[in-house]
Amino acid sequence: METKGKTKFLSVWHNVKYSWALKPKTSFSRNSPVLLLGKCYHFKAEEDEGQTEACREASDEEGVMGNVEDFRRDFGSRIWLTYREEFPPLPGSSLTSDCGWGCMLRAGQMMLAQALLLHFLGRDWTWSGAMSLQPLDTETWTTSAAKRLVASLESSLQASPGPSDPVVSQRQVAGSGEEAGVHTDGGFHRTLVSWFGDSPSAQFGLHRMVRLGLAMGKRAGEWYGPAVVAHILKKAVEEARDPCLAGISSYVSQDCTVYSADVIDSHKASASAAAERPDVTSSSHNSQPASASPDSRAVIILVPVRLGGEKTNPDYFNLAKSFLSLDYCIGIIGGKPKQACYFVGFQDDSLIYMDPHYCQSFVDVSTSDFPLQSFHCPSPKKMPFTKMDPSCTFGFYSRSAQDFERIKHELTELLQPSAKEKYPAFIFVQGHGRDYDLSASLSPEKREWPFIRDPRRSGSTVGDFVLL
């Protein structure tokens, strides 16, 4: 009983300490387009005439959506992965929660989840329960609120948990997902979410990420940067054992350089490793992507960059906007100082992001009917571009080698530096990385200097991205 009470106390305290401030609602302008991972939405009333120039430029023939509900449905369908507690101990430690240190790993998981949604379900897919998501709480987490909740918890330790218990409340909210019709998405949505469960057997779960991080000198409880997480994601995709994942691979750029021949090699696969796709039930809003060639794989392209010194260079803001306007962009993992988040869109001069800083209870994804609602975010958050930390990782999804040629051409055009920028954020070059004899004696991870720290060195480098 004492352990249970301590867990409840920590849940309250973690949500106070690690920055989940439940503001009333995120404000959006009705006069500017909203871009969400390549889709453009406008919140003007239907009788308003015309669209803004930016929205027209960002859209293809049917790329512009005209109401708030479509945006809510789209945003609520993205996979949301947050701090959890009460899961099995992590490799090499006795930790059973990632509160306070695992936010960048969670952001990386969310970006990988978006790539898998694109790969298996297509960009137009939405979850049937997205519109029934409930607010996480009705009260902002403040010190006084925390004290009241802790007092309530302490007084109820010998009794059944009360309705004010944040952990129990979250479970109750999550359970309501079954009433939201979560069984109508054909089942694969649930399978995909289960790959990110907090158990040692999950393909892309926190336990797997921590285990892979150990080889890079990172241990559970330490802070991870966006470049380190990019390499962890690559290793996780390479080691995935589920047959459904045979048709996808990952590539991480070297020193802000994407070597085209290396990406093309990542696309190649033997016939035995042909892409296997699950049987997904089609619906009116499910878009099934075209199957890749049976002898090729899709590639998740991850590009760690640093967009300035102490602060992000404002000249790169438009570049980030351009990337988030592309339907093959899977987002940006980065954050603001001491807080990691997953950037998925923007409006005007503010980024739209999904926040991992909310401590939820462990969900056993091995059951056939585990609740899905706690894996979807009920509301977006916004942050000015000026607060964006310069260290981040861009993510893109390439379905085939032919697709990559188009992506390379489009990104190269966008990466052309302006007179102010002087240098592109990253570049594409022909050939393989080894052709340029770049630090040939070093491991792939060490070639990423200055983004990845040598674990044998004390202190930090300019590229370290220390986050809570």
Query: Catalytic residues, which ones?
Result: 103, 355, 357
Q: Which residue has the tokens 């920028």?
A: 421
Encoded tokens for 269 = 């696969």
Asked if 448 contacts 231 with a C-beta cutoff of 8 angstroms, the reply is yes
CA atoms in the 13 A half-sphere facing the CB of 349: 5
C-alpha span between 278 and 193 (Å, rounded): 14
